[in-house]
């Protein structure tokens, strides 16, 4: 079962979707999780622990208990393939910070047990979800919890503007000129609310434009796709793709599965 739900306002401006997944047994044990420029709340339902592996040495990993928060990533990470039920919230860019209680920059390139941030409330959330009698009811619990926890449901105007502009092909320096803040202050605000620096966020979102282009292309021409997504030449495109995925584009095309940002290992 793969259930997805768009939240109601006002959460819809900060949470892209709530999701519930019951995966069939996989032929692979681990997956690359590609960076999206966003944060993810993940709640395992049948297993207490989740592992995040060092991409350079898969014998090294961090073990996380219960619900966990996956910070915005500047590169790919390696996780166990889903074999049981799991659910969560996929935040919009810059959408997680009202619910955290800490700056999003503090969880950049990390996955943390939610208990480290929320305390006992994280365990309570999982208990309430497990007690709910259907996938839809479980998502209801998560939605109510996030709504109740939100400190303030608004982004700094400069950050909101920059997210929109940098998700296209604007240069960071050009965006800063329009904002009216010092470069240093803008980068600090953006990093705290989004979890990545503006330059890194722009690069990750451009990479995600490529992933989306691969999924929707009727006829895939790498050079055209690279230029349409803002890469100035093929070498630039391949370098960024390998940096963010650990693969070259042709390898990704062969190894990808039905979830575009998950690649079997």
End-to-end CA distance of the chain: 23
Residue 174 pLDDT > 80: yes
Q: Report the C-alpha dihedral over residues 108, 61, 246, 172, rounded to 10 degrees.
A: 10
* pLDDT tier for residue 24 given thresholds of 50, 70 and 90: confident
What pLDDT, on a 0 to 100 scale, did the predictor assign at position 258?
A: 78
- Spatial distance between the Cα atoms of 69 and 117, rounded to a whole number of angstroms: 9
Per the structure block, which two tokens stand in for 149? 């926890």
Residue 26 pLDDT > 90: no
What pLDDT, on a 0 to 100 scale, did the predictor assign at position 150?
A: 87
Per the structure block, which two tokens stand in for 8? 């109601």
Domains of the chain: 2-149 (2.60.120)
- Can you tell me whether residue 50 is helix, strand or coil? strand
Question: What mean pLDDT do residues 84-90 have?
Answer: 93
What pLDDT, on a 0 to 100 scale, did the predictor assign at position 195?
A: 97
Residue 40 pLDDT > 90: yes
Question: What mean pLDDT do residues 196-208 have?
Answer: 96
What pLDDT, on a 0 to 100 scale, did the predictor assign at position 228?
A: 92
Higher pLDDT, 238 or 217: 238
Per the structure block, which two tokens stand in for 160? 């909101």
Side-chain half-sphere CA neighbours of 10 within 13 A = 11
Residue 210 pLDDT > 90: yes
Question: What mean pLDDT do residues 149-154 have?
Answer: 86
The phi-psi region of residue 230 (left if phi > 0; otherwise alpha if psi is between -120 and 50; otherwise beta) is left
- Spatial distance between the Cα atoms of 67 and 36, rounded to a whole number of angstroms: 20
Question: What mean pLDDT do residues 56-76 have?
Answer: 93
| Per-position DSSP letters for 100-141, written without gaps between them | HSS-GGGGTT-EEETHHHHTHHHHHHHHHHHHSSSHHHHHHH
E-strand ranges in the chain read: 2-5, 15-22, 30-33, 40-44, 49-54, 57-65, 68-70, 77-80, 85-91, 111-113, 262-264
What pLDDT, on a 0 to 100 scale, did the predictor assign at position 52?
A: 92
pTM across the whole model = 0.92
Higher pLDDT, 183 or 84: 183
- Can you tell me whether residue 189 is helix, strand or coil? helix
Percent pLDDT > 70 in the chain is 100
């Amino acid at each position: 079962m793969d259930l997805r739900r768009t939240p109601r306002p006002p959460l819809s401006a900060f949470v892209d979707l709530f999701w519930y997944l019951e995966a069939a047994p996989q032929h692979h044990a681990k997956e690359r999780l590609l960076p999206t420029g966003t944060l993810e709340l993940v709640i395992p339902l049948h297993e207490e622990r989740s592992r995040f592996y060092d991409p350079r040495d898969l014998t090294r990993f961090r073990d996380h208990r219960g619900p966990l928060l996956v910070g915005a990533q500047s590169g790919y990470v390696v996780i166990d393939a889903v074999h049981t039920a799991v659910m969560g919230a996929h935040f919009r860019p810059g959408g997680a910070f009202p619910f955290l209680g800490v700056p999003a920059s503090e969880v950049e390139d990390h996955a943390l047990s939610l208990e480290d941030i929320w305390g006992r409330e994280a365990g309570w959330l999982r208990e309430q979800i497990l007690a709910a009698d259907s996938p839809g009811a479980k998502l209801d619990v998560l939605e109510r919890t996030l709504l109740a926890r939100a400190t303030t449901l608004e982004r700094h105007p400069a950050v909101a503007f920059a997210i929109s502009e940098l998700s296209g092909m604007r240069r960071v320096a050009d965006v800063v000129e329009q904002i009216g803040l010092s470069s240093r202050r803008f980068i600090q605000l953006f990093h705290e609310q989004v979890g990545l620096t503006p330059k890194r966020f722009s690069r990750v979102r451009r990479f995600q434009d490529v992933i989306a282009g691969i999924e929707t292309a009727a006829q895939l021409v790498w050079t055209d796709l690279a230029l349409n997504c803002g890469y100035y030449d093929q070498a630039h495109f391949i370098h960024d793709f390998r940096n963010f995925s650990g693969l070259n584009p042709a390898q990704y095309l062969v190894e990808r599965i039905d979830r575009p940002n998950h690649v079997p290992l």
